[in-house]
Structure 1
Amino acid sequence: MSVQFVLEALVVLGAIVMGTRAGGVGVGLWGGLGTFVLVFVFREPPGEPPAAALAIILAVVTSAAMMQAAGGIDWMVAVAAGVIEKRPKQITIIAPLTAFLFSIGAGTSNIIYPLLPVIYDVSYKNRIRPSRPLTVTVVQSGMALAASPVSAAMAAMLTLTDVEPYNLGLTQILAITIPACVVGIVVTSLVVNRMWKNLDDDPEIQAKIESGQLAAPQLLADGESAASRLTYTKEGRNSALAFLLGVVAIVIFGLFPQLRPAFGAEGEEAVPIDMTTTIVMVMFVVGVAILFLGRPDVKTVPDQSVFKAGMISAIALFGIAWLTATFISAHEDYIVSTIGGWVTSWQFIFALAVFLVAALTTSQSTATRTIVPIGLAAGLPAGVVTGMWAGALSGVYTLPANGTQIAAANFDLTGSTKLGTKLLDHSFFVPMLIMSVVTIAVGALIGAVFF
């Protein structure tokens, strides 16, 4: 191990740590500074900027924000809330699975925010401890983006694996991540359903009810529905359907490459256009369709939460991905020969690395571009990398600092969903660990056996 390698590694780690402390776009800015140091101080050639991933993020975020401006997310939330209310006694498993499905379709975890009060309302009135469905619903959103064709994390992953020699495209990634995530959610829901005291047996909650601080749980009357309070417009419904059809079209194009136009130089075999280009074009088509079907006020698109979150992800991804690409390309031989041996012998080290970076940065796309290239360069099979990557992304909920965690705790009027006082004693920590371990194990198994 050379002194220069150690110094450059410290620059990379330092940029990540400082970017994490700054948060948001600060991650990207510090990544850019780290790249500058590697190039101008250590004289390393700059790596390849993540242009393809950025193109996907920009196209998807624009269309998704158009959908949100038209009211499409309101329609999705109303539909999801209706599904949750149909089986209230099974809410601990139904709520997170429903939220998972809609997070996949929307490509963002923001969709769960308006679902949280509905989940609390339904669980409490059915005398189910609210922390059970709330914690699992929140934690699943950390890894749901690994199963979404239109998330920033998937954009980052796809540009790393859908190339030679890995050739792991969108449909192959989804074939690994979706079943692994579903198993992780189901197992976690079953375990969490036995955690903590039941609502009627919790003395703290019962004391709040007896003192009048908390209204006694009462079942909804016939025809009454918490979901009915969620309103949406016809334009919102149409825009959401257009967006979801675009997601379906992307999956179909991934499954059947022959549907994509093929091009090649004279005398060479024609090759279908890549999925990055396909996703970008499909999303632009979807955006135009939403213009006509949803009639959103285009001026409000930059103000949408999806747009703001997407732009922050794009900036963070650009800086940190450029930094890691520069570092890895400069030391690829050493990484493959040395670190590769560690990862091959103890594959869990890769999952742990993704988990820790996700925990520190609270960004799935940043964790993807930081650690996945190292795992691939070290010689781990792409299928195994993909399976472990999906489960490890739940690490974003290691600390109780995310908006969805804070929102869930605030919506839970019983106080059963706690943020804790010692960093790791919050209600989300154990469900997060269970879901991560199960999903990592199942995903790695699927990736190793079938890919």
Structure 2
Amino acid sequence: MIISELIIVLAAIYLGARLGGIGIGFAGGVGMLILTTGFQIKPGVIPFDVIEIIMGVIVAIAAMQVAGGMDYLVSRAERLLRKHPRYITFLAPLVTYVMTLLAGTGHTAFSTLPVIAEVAKEQGIRPSRPLSIAVVASQIAITASPISAAVVFFSGILEAKGISYLGLLSVAIPSTMVAIFLAAIITNFLGKELKDDPVYQERLAKGEIVLRGTRVFNVQPGAKRSVLLFLLGIVAVVLYAAALSVGLITHPVLSRNEAIVVFMLTVAALICMTCKVECDRILSASTFKSGMSACICVMGVAWLGDTFVQAHIGEIQRVADAWLSDYPWMLAVVLFFTATLLYSQAATTKALMPAALLLGVSPVTAVASFAAVSALFVLPTYPTLLAAVEMDETGSTRIGKFVFNHSFIVPGTLAIMFSVALGFLFGHLFL
């Protein structure tokens, strides 16, 4: 029976991957319908705690975008990249990593990818190098962001195991940041030089390559103020969580999850009031649309995963005990391949991490393996990955004939391997 049910789960995930985007959540609902009505399985828990965090953070980001804050940040990023163009393979992932770290969503990378592609092309640098590692950095940074749904949920279940919110960040931030730098070093030597790439030479001969130069940004009056308000909101979240962790607030009225939502909604309100943002425009912002799509995806797929796991927790525990006790790093492998199918760090964390800790996986192993939930680059259908391919008119960033032989697979796999290895190192040092 468990095999039949697992096939249904995998088939639903496959259907979601074929539909793409918000369709992943829809397919999760199809899987739930079959499991509950066809196999009479009791439904698991809908991950509303994760969804509310995504919604709270996204409305603040969308308000900042409408106020011009995103354009302002991109203009600063472009200035940095153009000032040091030779180091773009190292600076590009730093930019996308920091923006994701602060925003809690990797979709912020969309705005910087055109800049990265143009600067690399102007300098004769193979664009696939900075673009690929930049996309990977924007995904892995989710597991280090103080306000990402994956981090907040994971820290919540870790507290019962004696690891605080700040403890998780103390391992996640340095391990992922150093891992991205190490992966960037290797990525800087991948592929032929641009001048030797036959695809680029063919497009150049046809006159399809255009140098566009510096982009012009019209900074809106409230742009800087919106960025400042958003950053203050992040600081407030971290300080409140720190106060809870060290016991400065002993009887909190707001839990950490509730506090994040309250702070982010407040930030959105302040941006609308002080930056003269029309609230209706927020509904049309690209970040708002992608965030709400993520909510549906998490709801459908994470609910489906939790339903299956809770129905067979006994069988899973017997199998996992034998493997994970001898090979704790196998948790990272399981998370890696699950994230490839679920397409969401939050959904993967919600679906597997509680079960992993319940099965007796040590908290340090769980923290070290956490970065593996960012393996969203394996299947070449993730939005930021596709955007990078489309924005590189040199043709160096491409998807191969065999699907998996694309420009992101090596940088992404290396970055996660380094992150997990460093996670074990820093975990034993700091936790």
Q: Determine if the TM-score, normalized by the shorter chain, exceeds 0.5.
A: yes
SS across alignment from 1:186: helix
Q: Which amino acid aligns with 1:443?
A: G
Q: Which amino acid aligns with 2:128?
A: S
Q: 1:207: Cα distance to partner?
A: 6.0
Contact conserved, 1:57 with 1:151, CA < 8 A, in 2? yes
Change (3 A) 1:364 1:184: same
1:191 is aligned to 186
Contact conserved, 2:132 with 2:397, CA < 8 A, in 1? yes
1:83 is aligned to 80
Q: 2:169 aligns with which of 157, 164, 174?
A: 174
Q: 1:94: Cα distance to partner?
A: 0.9
Q: Does 1:389 align with 2:377?
A: no
Q: Does 1:226 align with 2:214?
A: yes
Q: Does 1:249 align with 2:236?
A: yes
Over the residues paired in the alignment, what is the CA RMSD in angstroms?
Answer: 2.7
Q: 1:347 aligns with which of 328, 335, 340?
A: 328
Q: For 1:14-72, what per-residue CA distance to the aligned partner results, in whole angstroms no more than 9, with x for missing partners?
A: 33333333333333334344445544554544333322222212211222222222222
Change (3 A) 1:375 1:289: same
2:259 is aligned to 278
- Structure showing greater radius of gyration is 1
Q: Does 1:14 align with 2:11?
A: yes
SS across alignment from 2:283: helix
Q: 1:386: Cα distance to partner?
A: 2.7
- Counterparts in 2 of 1:5-404, with a 5 A limit? 5-162=2-159, 164=160, 166-202=161-197, 205-206=200-201, 209=204, 213-214=208-209, 226=214, 229-257=216-244, 262=249, 270=251, 273-390=254-371, 392-404=372-384
Q: Which amino acid aligns with 1:275?
A: R
Contact conserved, 1:25 with 1:315, CA < 8 A, in 2? yes
Q: Which amino acid aligns with 2:409?
A: F
Contact conserved, 1:103 with 1:148, CA < 8 A, in 2? yes
Distance in 2 (CA, whole Å) between partners of 1:325 and 1:159 is 17
Q: Does 1:428 align with 2:408?
A: yes
1:267 is aligned to none
Q: For 1:61-103, what per-residue CA distance to the aligned partner results, in whole angstroms no more than 9, with x for missing partners?
A: 2222222222221111112222222221111101111111011
Contact conserved, 2:344 with 2:374, CA < 8 A, in 1? no
TM-score normalised per structure 1: 0.86
Change (3 A) 1:377 1:196: same
Q: 1:436: Cα distance to partner?
A: 1.8
Q: Which amino acid aligns with 2:106?
A: S
Q: 1:230: Cα distance to partner?
A: 2.6
Change (3 A) 1:79 1:260: farther
Q: 1:241: Cα distance to partner?
A: 1.6
SS across alignment from 1:256: helix
SS across alignment from 1:102: helix
Distance in 2 (CA, whole Å) between partners of 1:296 and 1:332 is 49
Contact conserved, 1:55 with 1:280, CA < 8 A, in 2? yes
Q: 1:409: Cα distance to partner?
A: 2.4
SS across alignment from 1:367: helix
TM-score normalised per structure 2: 0.90
Distance in 2 (CA, whole Å) between partners of 1:127 and 1:258 is 49
Distance in 2 (CA, whole Å) between partners of 1:155 and 1:21 is 29
Change (3 A) 1:381 1:206: same
**Which 5+ residue runs of structure 2 have no aligned equivalent?**
none
SS across alignment from 2:45: coil
Q: 1:280: Cα distance to partner?
A: 1.4
Q: Which amino acid aligns with 2:224?
A: R
Distance in 2 (CA, whole Å) between partners of 1:209 and 1:16 is 41
Q: 2:396 aligns with which of 390, 407, 416?
A: 416
Contact conserved, 1:351 with 1:388, CA < 8 A, in 2? yes
Q: Which amino acid aligns with 1:295?
A: K
Q: 1:380: Cα distance to partner?
A: 1.4
1:266 is aligned to none
Give the stretch that moved more between structures: 231-240 or 97-106. Answer: 231-240
Distance in 1 (CA, whole Å) between partners of 2:196 and 2:35 is 59
Distance in 2 (CA, whole Å) between partners of 1:260 and 1:301 is 37
Q: How many residues align?
A: 431
Contact conserved, 1:253 with 1:260, CA < 8 A, in 2? no
Contact conserved, 1:80 with 1:99, CA < 8 A, in 2? no
Percentage of matched positions with identical amino acids: 32
